[in-house]
Chains A and B, each alone.
Chain A
Amino acid sequence: MKALVFSRKPARFAAAMVAGALRPGRGARVGPLDLRDIDPPEAPTGADGWVRVRPRLSGICGSDLATIDGKASRYFEPIVSFPFVPGHEVVGELDDGRRVALVPVLTCATRGIDPPCHMCRGDRINHCERIAYGHLEPGLQSGFCESTGGGWSVAMMAHESQLVAVPDDLSDEAAVLIEPMACAVHAARMVTDSEVAVIGSGALGLLTIAALRQLDNPVGPLIATAKHPEQRRWAKELGADVVCQPDELERQVRSAMSSFMLDNGQLTCGIDTVVDCVGSEDSLAQALRCVSPGGDVLAVGMPGVTTLDLTPLWHRETSLRGCYAYERDDFDRAIDLIRDLDLGRLVSATYPLSRYEDAIAHAATAGARGAVKIAFDLRDERERNHL
């Protein structure tokens, strides 16, 4: 079957790093990602509850792009298994025709580990303590695990615990956003303070803004940074009170919080919570400059290896907290929000697998090109219906 496969090829990985540094998304051309014919994945031997999912749409996420451009941290090495088929933002259909969205996090249930770990028992599936063990090859999620396959293919395997039924009134475009929206809901639920700044208005940033605004306990003034005009428009529409350029954030927060500003740009007061949906060295440093003493920086965008001056964190008793994935009930809220806000509109373009280089280049420069979410469209793949 047709699939995009990411292999462990150090030379090509190095080439992707160079190419990706020169032009975002260029790692797809020279790196270890290839469109290939592979054997369809199969359920782990003797395991129950596995079904075949034929992806309909599969999104391209920031973590996918980081992997393709060689920017992902080596931290992931023990918790992914090669070769893998990327794609974890998936809406697909089962053999009986039912549409499902994928919860890609791989848990004790999917790994055949019984009894499940403490975290899985408590439904905190994103913190599974057996992440590289059990009858699956290592993989923190489907889309990074050799055993399961991924959404950038015409078929993958999923455990029934990973499936969320897609309501009939939700289009595929809307449903492909369920997984990233669940991430955003999870992030928004971690915000307890009233004043929030969101760094970055890519897809994850925009969904986080929407989630923050729509949560039952709404936040106060919400300041967002957005680099590009279309991002600014979306950020406003989805609920940001103030949208500014990335380099204007310190002054915006200073102004809103009546803070003083030191010569190095560090605010003396600051905003209660900064949600960093970029995850770069610059964005994290900016978050530390803008957050109030005793405030929270929430790292929602996936950071890599970063050099960061943590003196302000120490001096101002700031908490820097990661925010990965979701818990299962975040999906229910995500579906409601997507429906209520008609967020299917955020899917800006879809590509067939054969044009994966164009798709990845588009996703890597989405903001500049006025796009938000780019996805692969598998619905017309000829092979898909002959499996």
Chain B
Amino acid sequence: MPRPGFVLDVDRSTPPLVFHHGEGFRLEKLPAGRSRVLYPGEPLAPLDDVDGAIRHALDNPLGDSPPLHALLKPGMKLTICFDDISLPLPPMRKPDVRQRVIEAVLDQAAAAGVDDVHVIAALALHRRMTEDELRHAVGDRVYDAFAPSGLLYNHDAEDPDNLAFLGTTPHGEEVEINKRAAESDLLVYVNINLVSMDGGHKSTATGLASYRSLRHHHNVRTMLESRSFMDRHRSELHSSNWRMGKVLEDAGVKIFQIETTLNNNTFGSSGPMSMLQKREWEWSVRDRASFAAMKAGLDRMPLKARRAVFQGWKAPYGVTSVQAGEVEAVHEATTENVFRQQLVEVEGQTDVLTMGLPYVCPYNVNSVMNPILVACTGLGYFFNMYRGMPLVREGGVVIMSHPTTWEFHPVHHPSYIDFFEQVLAETTDPLEIESRFEKQYAEDEWYRHLYRNSYAYHGVHPFYMWYWICHGLSHAGKVIVVGGETRAVRRLGFGAASTLQDALEMAEDVVGRDPTITHVHNPPLVMADVK
């Protein structure tokens, strides 16, 4: 029986804690008597028969939806869309659950005589997936059957000929999505719901949308009104997507949603990184030796080699649930399954929140975690992993550990480079950035060209990263990066500290002497339910 996540009060006997630190780790002692650690739950037991669970979900849909086979008719247009490279993190070992689900859907489609099928990576404004990445997600069988004839491809949010405008929400939000998906008789969406933010109407209304549509919820106002965007019922991001979902429905877009959840088996129960999902005081002698050896090795390795090691890691996740059917009913069940794994009840807020940021976030798979992504991972994703209220009090201090090198992937993140050099050099204020610079980047022909023809994130994407952090930015009194490259950290507008002790001392200038501290021991993923 896996143990749920819990909160540890740090005392003198608490051993040093592992902080993720990019492509490495730090061991840190937190002050006894006023620190607590939020540990994730142990991996839930995976489904024994994933393929059977998928078939069961397709045949027994949730909500007001017939089974999939009843929706499939000869001569129909079927489009299968799936979550892109940004999920899950790190990528999962083969076979990816998307492959299993898509194969099951295609089996039923073939049995029903459906032969007009397109398979689309729903990547919104993310970079296009490479052939290897697509093969990993959908499997060789599906790739070889569809890609050569152009029936498996990446969504292109900048292709005016292949976008369909479907209407406007009562709030004036324009809804424009992939034309093939919109005009199909059935749109099957295959999701991996890694965190509670994913899925639901967001899958289609965001994943298949254009900039014209996305800008209505990917903006500063929406983010400031989402407390947090991991809690759908208090997230304006989701409210907007749900409104758009209604427009899709009213426009006659028939969606059969398939959502899956994974357990916390990120680093494996055995193997070189297995100690990372154990609690430090439970480490065996072998775990300690393995960690020491791994850390020593990593510390001596050039960054490129370290990055290759980490980016090569495929997580042995187990699938914990599969739900299919009507979007909202499916997503309710999915969210419960995500919470079952990740949610941990926490009593109250503290003065300081610490976090060790890992090497990967949704936007640097097989890439570089540039400083903007560091900010987004810490102050966007990790900070927002709460329900109720943030783990740190308003005006408190967020301390993030990451090398934060001034380094960018030139192919994947060209507009990030310019954003960092040009926009953040002028201001770090999200509202000013949005009003002064967003349009120029969003409409830049060069970025558009690179997004469509190379493997670049859309020109506007770094803006969204910055908007993602605006709730954290406005809430925290100070943000400090431990062990980061000083000039890059300063460009972000954060404070730079060489050690955690220095950071805590800097924090005292903001929150007073002997502050209370929460450390989020993440990943594996944990979400705080703060009472």
User: Which residues of chain A have a CB within 8 Å of any CB of chain B?
Assistant: 242, 244-245, 248, 251-252, 254-255, 258-261
Contact = CB atoms under 8 A, between A and B. Distances in A.
Given A251-B417, A255-B440, A242 B422 contact: yes
A258 B445 contact: yes
Interface of B: 417-418, 421-422, 425, 440, 444-446, 449
B422 A244 contact: yes
A259 B421 CA distance: 17
A287 B417 CA distance: 21
Contacts of A254: 418, 446
Task: Name the residue in A244, A248, A254, A255 with the highest tally of chain B Cβ atoms < 10 Å from its Cβ.
Answer: A255
B311 to A, nearest CB: 24
Contacts of B445: 258, 260
Chain B residues touching A, majority SS: helix
Given A251-B417, A252-B422, 19 more contacts: A242-B422, A244-B422, A244-B425, A245-B421, A248-B421, A248-B422, A251-B421, A251-B422, A252-B421, A254-B418, A254-B446, A255-B418, A255-B440, A255-B444, A258-B444, A258-B446, A259-B446, A260-B446, A260-B449
Contacts of A242: 422
A117 to B, nearest CB: 48
Contacts, number: 28
B457 to A, nearest CB: 16
Chain A residues touching B, majority SS: mixed
Contact of A251 (B418, B440, B449): B418
Contacts of B446: 254, 258-261
Contacts of B449: 260
Contacts of A252: 418, 421-422
8 contacts: A251-B418, A251-B422, A252-B418, A252-B421, A252-B422, A254-B446, A255-B444, A260-B446
A251 B425 CA distance: 14
Contact of A244 (B421, B440, B444): B421
A247 to B, nearest CB: 9
Contacts of A259: 446
Contacts of B422: 242, 244, 248, 251-252, 255
Contacts of B444: 255, 258
Nearest to A232: B425
A251 to B, nearest CB: 5
A68 to B, nearest CB: 32
Contacts of A260: 445-446, 449
Contacts of B417: 251
Contacts of A248: 421-422
B413 to A, nearest CB: 12
Task: Name the residue in B418, B425, B444, B446 with the highest tally of chain A Cβ atoms < 10 Å from its Cβ.
Answer: B446
Contacts of B440: 255
A255 B417 CA distance: 11
A245 B491 CA distance: 13
Nearest to A242: B422
A244 B425 CA distance: 9
B306 to A, nearest CB: 25
Contacts of B421: 244-245, 248, 251-252
A243 B417 CA distance: 16
A242 B423 CA distance: 10
B297 to A, nearest CB: 33
A254 to B, nearest CB: 7
A316 to B, nearest CB: 18
A242 B436 CA distance: 14
Contacts of A245: 421
A68 B331 CA distance: 75
A202 B449 CA distance: 37
Contacts of A244: 421-422, 425
Contacts of B425: 244
B138 to A, nearest CB: 31
A233 B422 CA distance: 15
Which 6 residue pairs across A and B have the least CB separation, nearest first?
Answer: A248-B421, A260-B446, A251-B418, A255-B418, A258-B445, A258-B444
Nearest to A251: B418
Nearest to A268: B446
Nearest to A247: B421
Contacts of A258: 444-446
B368 to A, nearest CB: 17
B127 to A, nearest CB: 18
A259 B446 CA distance: 7
A223 to B, nearest CB: 10
A254 B418 CA distance: 10
A133 to B, nearest CB: 51
A252 B440 CA distance: 13
B102 to A, nearest CB: 36
Contacts of A261: 446
A242 B421 CA distance: 11
B436 to A, nearest CB: 12
Nearest to A252: B422
A338 to B, nearest CB: 29
Nearest to B443: A258
B432 to A, nearest CB: 16
A371 to B, nearest CB: 21
A240 to B, nearest CB: 12
A112 B356 CA distance: 78
Nearest to B449: A260
B299 to A, nearest CB: 29
Nearest to B459: A255
A261 B449 CA distance: 11
A313 B304 CA distance: 37
B286 to A, nearest CB: 48
A258 B425 CA distance: 19
Contacts of A251: 417-418, 421-422
Nearest to B437: A255
Nearest to B440: A255
A254 B446 CA distance: 9
A260 B446 CA distance: 5
Nearest to B441: A255
Nearest to A267: B446
B243 to A, nearest CB: 34
Nearest to A254: B446
B486 to A, nearest CB: 14
A239 to B, nearest CB: 16
